[in-house]
Structure 1
């Protein structure tokens, strides 16, 4: 008798070997072991092979052979229609592949066979959610939980649906139920953190993200979310680290790249921030936030054309985004493109009328365009939306002062002490005596404290004598060294101290106050403006400078100051670009020009002086020899006229009675010169104002000054 062999006795061993390999993740080897058993086509004994076919399908899926896995599971289902595991495996694969409609059909077929299958209900919920059928998804999750109350994924996914629907209480309960079932469920901690941050429960949100990262330290989404929270808390170094770790784990994580750029922008590391925004955009060119944030950074780097391009790209992608329109409008205003800025800011407010900053920026543009009533309304709307908006309060205050509405203007101006971004905010902490609020001063001592510029102090020192007239026993002035000698002889000032000395001695005073608070405390109106400060002249210095001025020869002596302090916030507008811009004045016969320019512009004056008779206009440059305001006073008092921009020398000259013609810029004119006036109540009969119109260059006001010189000196 001839014997024959069969493979049947060794099939269990092969299946066991394949199962062990699969459990180790060695799917290709497992599939190779199973291949001879399952073949490549349906067979009559597929029903008996169902378990083997199912294992082979799982291994095929593990190697990425989805078509093979699909075919193997279909053989299972065809041969044994009640084999639930095959339905589950195929439905799960189609769900993972995003084949939502086919997956829904399979999950529903499975549930028809096994209505108590909690995983099938939960997975059907995922498919329905992806298909945009949120209410059905919620029902599916609740069906899963009715059959298995501790089903972690069903709780978690139910939380997502409820969160998206704005049902935050229920969503939080669902996330917490998932965490009760599995305290180390990192994704539930992550989503709970997002929900808690939305609800303003910041400490709890931080703890949720900490727990997510304890459970899964290499979790990029949680790191990115945690980094965004840390940024909002001002913990920028920690935020940077969290974002960098997220990117290290996932280098193409666009949201983390964008967030890291935001952190670096806050850290004033704009070139690095730009790099990360551009990396994000290389990966996702339609990322609106990255374009917007790149625009912010480029604007801060003063690369305005590139910033404008970034903002406009963001607007092409999201035309109705109010924040982008607001920033673009603000930048256009900075560039002097006021009509475009106006249109852009109005478009921003049409998209969202509740952005306080957009109303503030609109107010600034309207003010520069001369629409003061509309500007006032815009500032007031900004304050109504954000009552603590210090910059808006300050701008409204200066606008009201500009139009002569002193009572409300000075009262609002005093609120500068509430603005943490202003230097004034620190004064109350620095000085150990009481801040004067207008209490009786008879027999009291008062420290006048310099917080503002040199010109401000020269202008408002006039109030010292009024304070003394109220009976103050002792009035001291704490200020920078440059003011000491000129203020030492001012009526009403008993002593002058440095800031350091004044801070040390503050406890010896009953009160302190800024000179710029005096119009409020002493109820100054336009019509009751006190006379200018009377500065004493040093006779010795007057004789010294008289000798220098004699070298000019006969003719009217005209002082020139064409540039202010380059650190001033508006110096770009208020300073004349160069001495050469004043050349039209040289055509007026007989005038003798004296440069009082110090710092910026001195080199131009020195060069003109060195050129002597070969220069277009000989000029005597004294600025380099001036030590302080006492020298300047001695010179200015002997001039026939000072022509200058809005700088401290104007206040000194006008106070001394020397005629002073001040050229004012078209942009951001200082409130002290009021609106549309050619004279000044602060310096009556002394100051004459030459205003640059919005559409003018400096050539126009300089020409008007030339014409005025001809009228005055060509008689």
Structure 2
């Protein structure tokens, strides 16, 4: 038991740094019991609770600390960031505006305020904040990255790709190589390896540039990908060898690159997006095997309703459950639903909404080559923003993509119901303010119309 509040505070800091959260919390509380006005202990306890996900307690401690020192910019900034995570945008904006008033030379506070404004669909104001942050610190990586997403969403590609380069300064990737990054040097007679993106969908989206590397004269173009993509990527035009993450790599490449750098390195604009599909293909033998497993009459519609739960915006981009798709049951007479859902939510196909039968075939999908073969036998894929949608688009299969309003990914741009990245894709967006019900109702109506058409064209 401590008798000195400052020593209790210092011990708590050491414990928190060592990962002993329980001990740190106990010591912070001891410091506050001895000295209730110990602002640093109160603020650090708020940070500790925030890291633990105890949002209400974190907010309480931050506000208590602000009450003791109302002109402390970092405390307002911390509170604003916490409220932003909770999507309490008006309160977050108020806290961050106080932070920039108290510390107008803080690029981080300006960048955070910009992010809140952009998420509130006030993009011009948000962009001004990002640019203020960069005026204070032209190398501020987070402000550059935030600005890149805004620019790319608006199809302002030239500056957007350049700003996206900041991503590599703070994102951690599991793979690098002992050769230089490729920065548009001549490739004639050279070898290059395309490294790993964190998401399967990102890999599918951007590895289309392999053929363009080949066209630049590369003698050899290899890819390192997730194991589940290896068989599928063997069908990728322009690729000489596909390696799975975890394999022993022979090396010997002249250059390496990450897939998401390639659009910028090739100077991609709207008109030059490489959109020839399909650029991935299903294996004919697997296609034939799946053909007999599917209904032979009516539309065959694949469904994917949830993405990777670890993705930062998954709560908004994924449906709560298969039950959200219950209105599609109105088309059950004309459509056969096939589950493409892997991972979280996969078992929901066994208990679908009343009046809606879903063939629970996803458990038989061992990798993306299997998924591609199943999709090749379908008429349409309906999916949230996850790898299944990218795969359908890369295969040239009609795909209806369900998109959130809040923090919708930059690649789908703004106010479009199509995408130049995938010509076979149709976008169904949430209305301003969010909500899946209006989206699902529109999809259900489109599906009924498609099922009753004499010559269905899901696109």
TM-score (norm 1): 0.60
Matches within 5 A, 1:651-666: 651-666=390-405
Partners of 1:265 and 1:573 in 2: CA distance: 31
Find out whether 1:475 has 2:221 as its counterpart. yes
| Distance verdict in 2 for CA 1:710–1:259, change over 3 Å | farther
Aligned to 2:336: 592
In the alignment, structure 2 segments of 5+ residues that lack a partner are 454-459
Partners of 1:256 and 1:702 in 2: CA distance: 58
Aligned to 2:456: none
Deviations 1:313-352 (A, max 9, x none): 2222222322221111111111111122112211222222
Partners of 1:691 and 1:256 in 2: CA distance: 54
| Distance verdict in 2 for CA 1:500–1:583, change over 3 Å | closer
Aligned to 2:319: 576
- Post-superposition shift, 1:354? 2.1
Asked whether the equivalents of residues 637 and 657 of structure 1 are also in contact (C-alpha less than 8 Å), the reply is no
| Distance verdict in 2 for CA 1:543–1:257, change over 3 Å | same
Asked whether the equivalents of residues 640 and 658 of structure 1 are also in contact (C-alpha less than 8 Å), the reply is yes
Asked whether the equivalents of residues 326 and 354 of structure 2 are also in contact (C-alpha less than 8 Å), the reply is no
| Distance verdict in 2 for CA 1:271–1:385, change over 3 Å | farther
Find out whether 1:494 has 2:240 as its counterpart. yes
TM-score (norm 2): 0.93
1:423 equivalent among 162, 167, 172 = 172
User: RCO greater where, 1 or 2, for CA within 8 Å and sep 6 or more?
Assistant: 2
Aligned to 1:633: 372
Report the 3-state secondary structure (helix = DSSP H, G, I; strand = E; otherwise coil) of the residue aligned with 1:462.
helix
- Post-superposition shift, 1:488? 0.5
Report the 3-state secondary structure (helix = DSSP H, G, I; strand = E; otherwise coil) of the residue aligned with 1:599.
coil
Aligned to 1:509: 253
Find out whether 1:296 has 2:47 as its counterpart. yes
Find out whether 1:601 has 2:345 as its counterpart. yes
1:527 equivalent among 265, 268, 271 = 271
Report the 3-state secondary structure (helix = DSSP H, G, I; strand = E; otherwise coil) of the residue aligned with 1:404.
coil
1:543 equivalent among 269, 279, 288 = 288
Find out whether 1:674 has 2:413 as its counterpart. yes
- Post-superposition shift, 1:501? 4.5
| Distance verdict in 2 for CA 1:690–1:260, change over 3 Å | farther
- Post-superposition shift, 1:485? 0.5
Aligned to 1:346: 97
Partners of 1:581 and 1:256 in 2: CA distance: 54
Q: For this pair of structures, how many residues does the alignment match?
A: 451
Partners of 1:668 and 1:385 in 2: CA distance: 26
Report the 3-state secondary structure (helix = DSSP H, G, I; strand = E; otherwise coil) of the residue aligned with 1:568.
coil
| Distance verdict in 2 for CA 1:629–1:398, change over 3 Å | same
1:437 equivalent among 183, 186, 193 = 183
| Distance verdict in 2 for CA 1:263–1:710, change over 3 Å | farther
Asked whether the equivalents of residues 330 and 448 of structure 2 are also in contact (C-alpha less than 8 Å), the reply is no
How big is the alpha-carbon RMSD for the aligned residues of Structure 1 and Structure 2?
Answer: 2.0
Asked whether the equivalents of residues 462 and 533 of structure 1 are also in contact (C-alpha less than 8 Å), the reply is no
Aligned to 2:457: none
Find out whether 1:713 has 2:458 as its counterpart. no
In the alignment, structure 1 segments of 5+ residues that lack a partner are 1-247, 609-613
Deviations 1:620-669 (A, max 9, x none): 01111001111111111222221111111111101222111111223322
- Post-superposition shift, 1:615? 4.3
User: 1 or 2, which has the higher helix percentage?
Assistant: 1
